Amino acid sequence: MRILLVGAGGVGDAIAKIAARRSFYELIVVSDYDEGRAKRTVDWVRARHGDDVASRFTTAQIDASDPDRVAAVAREHGATHVMNAVEPKFVTSIFAGALAAGADYLDMAMSLSEPHPTDPYAETGVKLGDDQFAQASDWQQAGRLALVGIGVEPGLSDVFARYAADHLFSEIDELGTRDGANLVVRDEEGNEIFAPSFSIWTTIEECLNPPVIWEEDKGWYTTPPFSEPETFDFPAGIGPVECVNVEHEEVLLMPRWVDAKRVTFKYGLGDEFINVLKTLHLLGLDSTTPLRVRSANGPAEVAPRDVVAAALPDPASIGPRMTGKTCAGLWVTGTGKDGNPREVYLYHVSDNEWTMAEYEAQCVVWQTALNPVVALELLSDGTWQGTGVLGPEAFDAVPFLELMKKPEAEGGYGQEWHLEERTPK
């Protein structure tokens, strides 16, 4: 397996760092628009793991917006797999470049949605991933696999959905991804600051788009942003967090492979963050349409959302000043294998103190990066195989969850996931 990793931002950097402890691949090409960033990642691998491990890494400059350039870099390095670790606006170009190069493809976010032109808060328009699924037959005909949405959410959440359907439930009422955290970031003086732990560009995209819900008898439909607020009680000391509906890939993926009456995604944003997002929208600062603005070198055309992202601390850089844990999981309700009502929360917790000590990566970014590495390992030995455009729930969940949980000393990743039985309402 020869992997072209596109993007050495927070998640891409953590993918390389996690993979550095594994041996299932021959080469990882860490590529970025700014090759210096890719070099920093490989320098870390060399410093931490030595020259032998680092010899299986190299770097490249890449323009992720150009399919031809993606294909050229993939061909140049004989990539068998293209691992997309950049912002979702580049999904379509990397997806096309991988297919052109004859490589398999993985991503952690799917091609972007477009709201319904006349009724955006009730009906779907172009849905997340529609552009990719529309090309499924091309991938099948080429005998190539595009494994889409294999981060933590989507990703691990989808693996949990497959697991719940196969091993825990005879009938599922709701597959509800629920994400919450108790992370706090402080400045040098120790004062709490506003510093989102994940790409604000992506968070704005997710949270201001109309949230999508799936129901057995209605199919996919949308609501206004921040709908159906619900206090969800998270484990591991995080406690109750206010969650709202957010547009997310799980809702588009799970119903394609798993039977359920309802599929939702709710994000524990909290009041402050919801207010920030609403205010950005009120002012038009969420927009990706470039505006003409004065700059030191004359008028420049910049997208307000890019400026918002640039004004905030880089999520990859805040790890040292952050404390707390993040929890990603799937809340499942329905009828158990024994015919009785059942309610479980399947989850994985990432502790910033631990991810910083072990990987110098902050916990949200690290938790996202873990899952594609596990998936790549399962693909490398044929445990997982397939062609076409497939979500994580199209594969057997058990080998994934076993490899993830098994201690490192026994060849696994040593990452506990948990099943919490809850009392059905």
User: What residue ranges bind a copy of itself (CB under 8 A)?
Assistant: 194, 275-276, 279-280, 282-285, 287, 290-297, 300-302, 304, 306-308, 310-312
Q: Tell me how far apart the alpha carbons of residues 361 and 366 are, in angstroms, rounded to a whole number.
A: 6
Q: How far is the CB of 313 from a copy of itself (least distance, A)?
A: 9
Q: How far is the CB of 194 from a copy of itself (least distance, A)?
A: 5
Half-sphere exposure for 67 (CA within 13 Å, toward CB): 12
- The most distant pair of C-alpha atoms in the chain lies apart, rounded to whole Å, by 70
Q: How far is the CB of 33 from a copy of itself (least distance, A)?
A: 9
Residues 6+ apart with CB under 8 A from 262: 173, 174, 175, 176, 213, 214, 215, 216
CA 391 vs. chain centroid, Å, equals 12
Rounded CA Rg of the chain: 21
Residue closer to a copy of itself, measured from CB, 281 or 406: 281
Q: How far is the CB of 278 from a copy of itself (least distance, A)?
A: 9
Residue closer to a copy of itself, measured from CB, 40 or 278: 278
Q: Are 348 and 367 in contact (CB under 8 A)?
A: yes
Q: How far is the CB of 269 from a copy of itself (least distance, A)?
A: 14
Residue closer to a copy of itself, measured from CB, 218 or 294: 294
Q: Residue 176 forms beta bridges with which residues?
A: 264, 331
Q: Are 245 and 228 in contact (CB under 8 A)?
A: yes
Neighbouring CB atoms inside 10 A of 158's CB total: 31
Residue closer to a copy of itself, measured from CB, 189 or 217: 189
Residue closer to a copy of itself, measured from CB, 192 or 410: 192
Q: How far is the CB of 290 from a copy of itself (least distance, A)?
A: 6
Residue closer to a copy of itself, measured from CB, 116 or 406: 116
Q: How far is the CB of 274 from a copy of itself (least distance, A)?
A: 11
Instruction: For 278-399, list the strands marked E by DSSP.
Output: 291-293, 300-302, 322-323, 325-336, 341-351, 388-390
Residue closer to a copy of itself, measured from CB, 289 or 340: 289
Can you give the length of the chain in residues?
425
* 3-class DSSP assignment, residue 168: helix
Q: Tell me how far apart the alpha carbons of residues 106 and 397 are, in angstroms, rounded to a whole number.
A: 17
